[in-house]
Structure 1
Amino acid sequence: MSAAVLDDFAAISLTELVERASLQTRVDRKYVIPSTGLDQLLTVLAADGARILEIDGERDFAYESVYFDTPDLSSFRLAATGRRRRFKIRSRSYLDTGSSYLEVKTRGGRSSTVKERHELDPDDARVLTPCGREYVGEVLGDAGIRSVDPEELSPVLTTRYSRATLFVPSSESRATIDTRLVWELEDAGDHPTGGRLERPAISVVETKSGNRASAVDRILWSLGHRPSSISKYATGMAALHPELSANRWGRVLARDFDRPGGPTTASRPLLAA
């Protein structure tokens, strides 16, 4: 993704983006596309009037997310089996601005994603404080998820990437483009890869809109791209732990992560809290 192409977009401030397209309750569609194809996509989006988030003159930002799960990986397993009442818990740090948030994502009606979050001290981004555990318990309880004990949650995986965020006025929607993707296990032990995975050749484009497809979705379709089943957390865990069942992400794992995505002969707890 070249800086020159990003410069073709008119800018939008963070304040205006939040006012016009915060979309905490939304439908997400994700696309895995070759990084070499990004400039074509961005050129079409710029011509369509999309605007790009700009903060202090910067348009491409470094992110770090730390994912928390139970010892038996409840969050991963619920996602892997497509359960309706599934959840995801992470801290998200915006490395360029120095701010961090604790986020709890659950599934709402009609397959929508509901995200709740509160601000963190950046020093607490890799732990769940007593306040954080209480917050997680409240949000999960409100979503009808009462089988998870927040006291059992611990960090299991970190992702790092660069993100550009676009706002599309025609559909009042937004999209993110993630590049330079890296995954790291929190407890790699004697993992054969060192518990680290890099995928610079792929990019993840995520559209965020209401129930209807956004203008970005339609542009992606016109360029021959279709939504993929991918979760940075679950796909990363499955790629780094081939003993985990991963049918749900099999196609992406086989194509982009060099891992066949069929069922496994064993399914066992991987990480102790």
Structure 2
Amino acid sequence: MNTECFDQIKLVDMEKVRLMNRTDRKFWFHSDYLPKLLQEVQHDYHLLCIEGKSLLSYSTAYFDTKNDRMFSAHHNGKLNRFKIRKRTYIDSGIHFLEIKFKNNKGRTIKKRIPCALDNSSFTSTESQFINSHTPFYTKELIPSLLNKFSRLTLVNKNLKERCTIDLDIEFEVANRIVTLDNLVVVEIKSDGKSNVSPLAQALRKNRIKTSGFSKYCIGRCITDPILKRNIFKEKIRTIEKVTQTSIHII
């Protein structure tokens, strides 16, 4: 996978394209397609690099209620739904408590604050943040999933679009680890205006269609054998077909 032909962008310059209120499109496919796609869009995007490294490591701890209210809202197709997580940007040493809200107009609104590196509890500031911006109270939240992955981040040179490319996706619950070998998940994030996306065009050219993919929901389904998963069964089978592998537990 050659990324050397991309012009680089620094983390400090990413503030220009935060897109905390945005529309999202997701695509997923076998990793064999990725080198060709990157080659086709290399002149249209900057590539985020930190200390010379472009494939960056992330760790995310998700929280839910004991009766899985946030997972169930997504499973049942409810709009105006929330995800609460603590994300560690490993290569930059930054930690954020993040709230993602999907509204009934299909927009994703994200709020975040710096947080402590503690996935088992919340500080008073973190609790106030969650209590103020969600219908949930921190006393009812428990850790529900740990997700690790590697990411390339592309920024359109017009600074109106950001694209994330996730690989090496791994889920962990109670020391059970599930890996999604050979899978790449692309998310194209924009302000929702009619901007042309070179990456979306390249994906369509390669017959890769947009398809929803929630790392939280997929991860919960394949690590919890008793969780209701009807709506995700077909997607999991398709993931196995696309990646030409069986999802396996370590």
TM-score, with normalisation over the residues of structure 2?
A: 0.89
SS at match of 2:179: strand
Higher mean C-alpha displacement, 237-246 vs 152-161: 237-246
Q: Which is richer in strand?
A: 2
Residues 1:164 and 2:147 aligned together: no
Work out the CA distance in 2 between the residues paired with 1:80 and 1:115: 20
How far apart are 1:220 and its partner, in Å? 1.1
Which residue number corresponds to residue 221 of structure 1?
Answer: 204
Matches within 5 A, 1:31-110: 31-47=27-43, 49-108=44-103, 110=105
SS at match of 1:230: coil
Residues 1:150 and 2:138 aligned together: yes
Work out the CA distance in 1 between the residues paired with 2:68 and 2:240: 21
CA contact (8 A) 1:102 1:117 kept: yes
CA contact (8 A) 1:100 1:119 kept: yes
Alpha-carbon spacing, 1:109–1:215, altered in 2? closer, same or farther (3 Å): farther
CA contact (8 A) 1:30 1:228 kept: yes
Alpha-carbon spacing, 1:246–1:171, altered in 2? closer, same or farther (3 Å): farther
Work out the CA distance in 2 between the residues paired with 1:27 and 1:35: 25
Residue type at the aligned position of 1:201: N
Work out the CA distance in 1 between the residues paired with 2:147 and 2:27: 18
Which residue number corresponds to residue 136 of structure 1?
Answer: 130
Residue type at the aligned position of 2:143: P
Which residue number corresponds to residue 11 of structure 1?
Answer: 8
Work out the CA distance in 2 between the residues paired with 1:126 and 1:204: 28
Residue type at the aligned position of 1:224: R
Residue type at the aligned position of 1:220: L
Unaligned runs of 5+ in 1: 141-145, 189-193, 259-273
Residue type at the aligned position of 1:254: R
CA contact (8 A) 1:61 1:95 kept: yes
Work out the CA distance in 2 between the residues paired with 1:14 and 1:231: 25
Residues 1:175 and 2:163 aligned together: yes
Work out the CA distance in 2 between the residues paired with 1:247 and 1:227: 21
Residue type at the aligned position of 1:36: D
Which residue number corresponds to residue 195 of structure 1?
Answer: 176
Work out the CA distance in 2 between the residues paired with 1:152 and 1:126: 12
Residue type at the aligned position of 2:13: E
Work out the CA distance in 1 between the residues paired with 2:50 and 2:91: 9
Work out the CA distance in 1 between the residues paired with 2:197 and 2:133: 28
CA contact (8 A) 2:80 2:104 kept: no
How far apart are 1:217 and its partner, in Å? 1.7
| Cα distance per residue 1:197-221 (max 9 Å; x no partner) | 0112111111101224633222211
CA contact (8 A) 1:171 1:214 kept: no
Work out the CA distance in 2 between the residues paired with 1:113 and 1:248: 21
TM-score, with normalisation over the residues of structure 1?
A: 0.82
How far apart are 1:28 and its partner, in Å? 1.1
SS at match of 1:110: coil
Query: RMSD across aligned C-alpha pairs, in angstroms?
Result: 1.8
How far apart are 1:170 and its partner, in Å? 4.3
| Cα distance per residue 1:30-87 (max 9 Å; x no partner) | 111101111011001104x211011211111100000000000111000111111210
Residue type at the aligned position of 1:203: V
How many equivalent pairs are there?
239
SS at match of 2:42: helix
Which residue number corresponds to residue 234 of structure 2?
Answer: 251
Alpha-carbon spacing, 1:248–1:25, altered in 2? closer, same or farther (3 Å): farther
Alpha-carbon spacing, 1:221–1:37, altered in 2? closer, same or farther (3 Å): same
Identity over the aligned pairs, expressed in percent? 28
Residue type at the aligned position of 1:120: C
